[in-house]
Structure formats: C-alpha cells, structure tokens
Structure 1
Amino acid sequence: MAGDDLTARMGATLALVLAIDLAFALVLVALLEPWLAPLLAALGIGSTLGRYALLIALVLTGLVWVQLRYTRQELLAEADAEPITAESHPDLHARVTRLSTLADLRVPTVAVADTDVPNSFAVGGLRSGTVVVSEGLLETLTDDELDAVLAHELVHLANRDAVVMTLASFLPALVADEYSPLEEALPDGTKPLFWGALAVGCYVLAATALGVPIASLEGLAQFGIAVAVTVLLGGVALGLLATPVVFLSRGLSRQREFVADRDGARLAGDPAALASALATLDEVATPPSEDARVRYRGLDGMCLLPHGFDDGVVADDGFHVETRSHPPTDERIARLRELAASLES
C-alpha cells in the first residue's frame, strides 16, 4: 500500500516537473523569440509557429538534460565524492554488487566521500545511478549495518525516486541561486570574453528586432529596457513555477525514506541492522548548527540523515528553498523495530 502511494506521488511529482519545464520553456521562448526572430528568419525559419516550435523543443530538451546531468554532477561535487573500483575498495564493491543482484538492479557506480562525517545518499540517472558513502560511514558501521544502509540507497535507485528527486531539486535550486550551470561551465579565463560577446550579440539582435539604429542613444535605452523586462519576467516566472514543485517534492521526500527503510531492510534481510545503523549515525554525527530554513537545502535532504557531509556551523548566506523533508529518525527506527518484531513472529 505504501509502495503504491509512493509510486503515485512519484508519478505526480514527475508529471508536475515536466509540465513546469514545458511552461518555463514557453515563457523563455516568448521572451527570447523577439530577440532571435531576425536570426532565425535569416536561417530560413520565417513563420512564427515554426520559430516557436524549434525554440520550445531546444529549450525543453536542454532543461531536462541539465536537470539530470548537471544536478547529478553538482551533488557529487558538493560531497567531494570520487568513484571507486573493485581494486581500490574490493569489500565495498562486492557488497554493492551482491545487493544489486539480489534486488535485480543494474550495479550502480559507487563513490566515496573523503569526510569523517558518516552519511550516504543515492543520486539517479536515466540508465543507472550512483551510491555515495563517506569514509566516516565505512569506519563507523558494522558489516550488517553497512549492508543495510547500502540496501536502503539501492532501493532509492530501484524505485526511481532518486531520479525524480534529482529532477525536482533543479528549479528550486535555481531560484535559491545555488546552481549556475552556464557560469560554472565556462573556464575562468573566458568568462569576461563570453559575457562581453553575449552582450554585444544581444544588442545587435535587439537593435535589429526593434528597428532602431545600433549606434544611438535611443537604441541603447530600448536595449536596456528590453533586457530588464526579460530578466524580471523570467525571474518572476521561475519563482512562481518552482513553488508547486517544492510542496509536492517535500511530501515525496518524507515518504520515500520510509519506503526505502522498509524495503532496504528486507533486501538486506535484517531490519534491526538498519535501525541500529540509524541510531548509531544519529548519535555519532553532529548536525551543523544552522538556520532551520537551510536544513534541507542542496545535498542534505538527499542523504540518509539530513545533515549532509558537513561538520561544523553552516552560515545562512541568503535566500534558500527547502525541497525535501526527512521524517524524524526516532520514528524511522521505531518502524524498523516493529518490522523486525513482525518478521520474527
């Protein structure tokens, strides 16, 4: 029953994310089409419908690709996680391979974060995913507890909720200014040149579209107004469209942890081991002292316990959007112990 409810929530969240991607693509195209119309007309695309269809297809494809590829890379980079091999970590690799076989799941990439803070998370992809564990986790847990935690993360991949949460986190992170895909894709030395060339290109396109002389105060003033309107309307649209994703993904985040606890415990064959692991990690790890508004931002809400891989004080340096909400660890442990008791009886 809980699995069916999770599937329904995942489907609703995924459908909403894709619908919002489409809506955001429409907004962007509506704002950019007047700028690009002369260029597209020169390329032989004279009809407005044709220009809109081409731009919407390009923008929507780019959005979905960036949401999966870029967000996955950002989460791994934030955790400072490096992929391992069977040669570098034979025991860990063997455990994940064995559990993946039991779950009838393609063996994911395994990465280890170089931190003493014990935690783990799974990030999804179209074909497979990545399971990340920290050095602190490997050193803290017993063999049975480690198997239970790995099984928990594999269930996130098997259920595809890791993919949905990866997609759902992108637009809210843009609103919170946590992600800057274009800025981070440019080599440091080329950023001034790129932005300068982009400004010049936009000015030429705007002057052509507005029908004013390029080298005139009127043209410069109209260009400034057009840029301000485009940025303002695009930002407002992004904020409004990201809001429903936040509310729906927070509910999904809470439920997916309960399902992964239950199914991961069954996969590992020992619910008590996962309960013991959660109790140990909750006691050993010291969550950062931070404002409640940033508790689940970025990587934190994707992890087994919602404190990420930080050890110390995290400052609130601006506006943030919570997209995930973990259930209380005590409640998770109580449910696992009930499951263990029911299986024993």
Structure 2
Amino acid sequence: MNKTGLQLRMAVVGSILFGLYLAAAWFFHLLFDIDLMILVLLSIVLLPAGQYKLGKWLAVRSSGAEDMPEDDPRYRKVHQMTESLCRDMGMEKPRLMVAQMGVPNAFATGRKGAGIVVVSEELMRILDDDELEGVVAHELAHLNNRDTVMMTLGQSIATVVSYAVFFVVQAMGEDGPGFLVAWLASMVANFLVMLLVMAISRYREYVADDTARQYVGSGDPLARALEKISRSAENRESAVQDSGVNALCIFNGDRSALQQIMSTHPPTEKRIEKLRS
C-alpha cells in the first residue's frame, strides 16, 4: 500500500465520519431546537478538548512514567537522537519520559509542540541505537502528524453519533422501542463508527512508519526493532492494563479476528514487510 493509497483511504473514511457527524448534529438541531453553532462548539471543540486533556493525563499516570533525566548517562543518547530528529522534522522537542512497562514498548501522546514520548526501560535494553532511533522517529511522526488529536476527534464523533441514534430510537413514539432497545442501538452505532476510526488509526501507523523511514534513512532499523519487540513481548504480560495506553504503543499484539478489526495497529508482519519493500 503506497502513501497515496493510504492518504486516499484516510480521506474517504474521514469524509464518511464527518458526514455522520453532520447528520447527528442536524438531528439534534431539529429535535431540541438547539442552535447549530452551539452544537458544533460542544461536540467538535469542547468534547474532544476534554477527552484529549483527560487521555493525556491518564496515559502518563497509568503507565507510571517519570521524566527522563537528560544528565543521566543511561538516557543521554535518547535525548540526543530526539533532538536531532526534531531538528530535521522542524518540530519542538517533546517531553521525554521513561516507564517500567513489563514489555519493550513506547508511545507518544499529546500534540505537536506539547507532546510526550514515553519509552520503556525494557525497550532501551533490547534495541541497538539505530533501532531505538527508528522507534523514536515513529513516535515523533505521530506528534508531528497530530495523530492523537485526530483519533480523539474520531472518538468524539462516535460518541455524538451514538447519542443521536439513542434519541432517534427513543423518539419513535410511546409504542416504539423502549430504553433498552435504544441503548443497544446506540452501542451498535458506536461500534460501527469506531470501526472507521480504528481503520484510520491503522493507516496512520503505516504513515508514521514511512515517516520514520524517511528521517532515519532506511526502514530496516525500525523493521528490526519491531521484530525484536514482537519476539520479546511473546508470553509476557504488559504491566500497563489501560487499553487506551496500549492503543498508543508502537506494538499492539492483538491477534484474534475481532481484535484485528478493532485494533489501532496493522499486523506487525505487514508493517515489517512494508518497511523493507
């Protein structure tokens, strides 16, 4: 899948999501006679902003991350490679943090100019310098592309659509479906919209991999890193139980059919193949 194909798919899925949001907003406008601009403010500005702030705080807290001291010899190379990559990417250096995650992993949260990159101690122990640089470049690409913000916006649209479906079913009249049916319908709607959101997330992983390849100079270091991470994670339990944090991590080991459909990451073997193609 080339970069143009990825961008086209993201544009199509994004347009569908935006169309669903407009339909939901118009329904609330008709049903409750609420000004359309107020609805836009609440659902596209305030709701995502609240989810973004809470998600960023929870990601750091639930992973047990702590600041990575720049004067500590163990982390000096991480700071140096991050500063070099940030100069090349034209972005501010994010806050670097370190965590004991039980498995080798890393994740980024926040946005460009106010981002955080968390690297696990386990990851730094198993990777060579060029492999670690590939992982850091991947996480910086997420910040530079504002992926966390975009995913938060997608989740907000899913919430708005699910509430709209709930009220549509409830508004069918006194003899219509009851609360339970309306609630189930809203859950189904949320699930279907999140399928689209997860699809965009998987496309963005490919884009972040490709961006890392460009700035590192080759896709092989990141491909080797993913191979090592995958092998090291086998039969090991992550110390981080927050599904939101695991969704941010560079490696997600979901393997069942349903998990792959709802996964934020494409299969690792496909990412490795693409990096080396």
Give 1:302's match in structure 2, choosing from 240, 244, 248.
248
Query: SS at the partner of 1:130?
Result: strand
Give 1:81's match in structure 2, choosing from 53, 60, 65.
65
Shift of 1:143: 0.8
What amino acid does structure 2 have at the position aligned with 1:332?
A: R
Q: Which residue of 2 aligns with 1:63?
A: 47
Change in CA separation of 1:26 and 1:152 when aligned onto 2, cut-off 3 Å: same
Q: Which moved more, 1:123-132 or 1:65-74?
A: 123-132
Q: Supply the distance in 1 between the matched residues of 2:38 and 2:230 (Cα, whole angstroms).
A: 49
Q: Which runs of 5+ in 1 are unaligned?
A: 34-47, 176-228, 290-295, 309-319, 339-345
Instruction: Indicate if the aligned counterparts of 1:102 and 1:267 stay in contact, CA closer than 8 A.
Output: yes
The TM-score with structure 2 as length reference comes to 0.71
Query: SS at the partner of 2:214?
Result: helix
Instruction: Indicate if the aligned counterparts of 2:25 and 2:36 stay in contact, CA closer than 8 A.
Output: no
Instruction: Indicate if the aligned counterparts of 1:16 and 1:245 stay in contact, CA closer than 8 A.
Output: no
Give 1:149's match in structure 2, choosing from 116, 132, 135.
135
Instruction: Indicate if the aligned counterparts of 1:254 and 1:325 stay in contact, CA closer than 8 A.
Output: yes
Instruction: Indicate if the aligned counterparts of 1:153 and 1:260 stay in contact, CA closer than 8 A.
Output: yes
Change in CA separation of 1:79 and 1:330 when aligned onto 2, cut-off 3 Å: same
Shift of 1:334: 2.5
Query: SS at the partner of 1:298?
Result: helix
Q: Which moved more, 1:84-93 or 1:327-336?
A: 84-93
RMSD: 3.9
Query: SS at the partner of 1:331?
Result: helix
Matches within 5 A, 1:105-120: 105-120=91-106
Whether 1:283 and 2:224 are equivalent positions in the alignment is no
Whether 1:2 and 2:41 are equivalent positions in the alignment is no
Q: Which residue of 2 aligns with 1:333?
A: 272
Whether 1:104 and 2:43 are equivalent positions in the alignment is no
Structure 1 or 2, whichever has the larger Rg, is 1
Shift of 1:250: 2.6
Q: Deviations over 1:38-96 (max 9, x none)?
A: xxxxxxxxxx6xx6468535532321212322222233333222343534543322221
Q: Supply the distance in 1 between the matched residues of 2:224 and 2:116 (Cα, whole angstroms).
A: 24
Shift of 1:117: 1.1
What amino acid does structure 1 have at the position aligned with 2:4?
A: D
Give 2:56's match in structure 1, choosing from 64, 67, 72.
72
Q: Supply the distance in 2 between the matched residues of 1:106 and 1:145 (Cα, whole angstroms).
A: 22
What amino acid does structure 2 have at the position aligned with 1:335?
A: K
What amino acid does structure 2 have at the position aligned with 1:336?
A: L
Query: SS at the partner of 1:122?
Result: strand
Q: Which residue of 1 aligns with 2:120?
A: 134
Q: Supply the distance in 2 between the matched residues of 1:73 and 1:322 (Cα, whole angstroms).
A: 27
Q: Supply the distance in 1 between the matched residues of 2:108 and 2:148 (Cα, whole angstroms).
A: 6
State the identity as a percent: 31
Give 2:222's match in structure 1, choosing from 250, 265, 274.
274
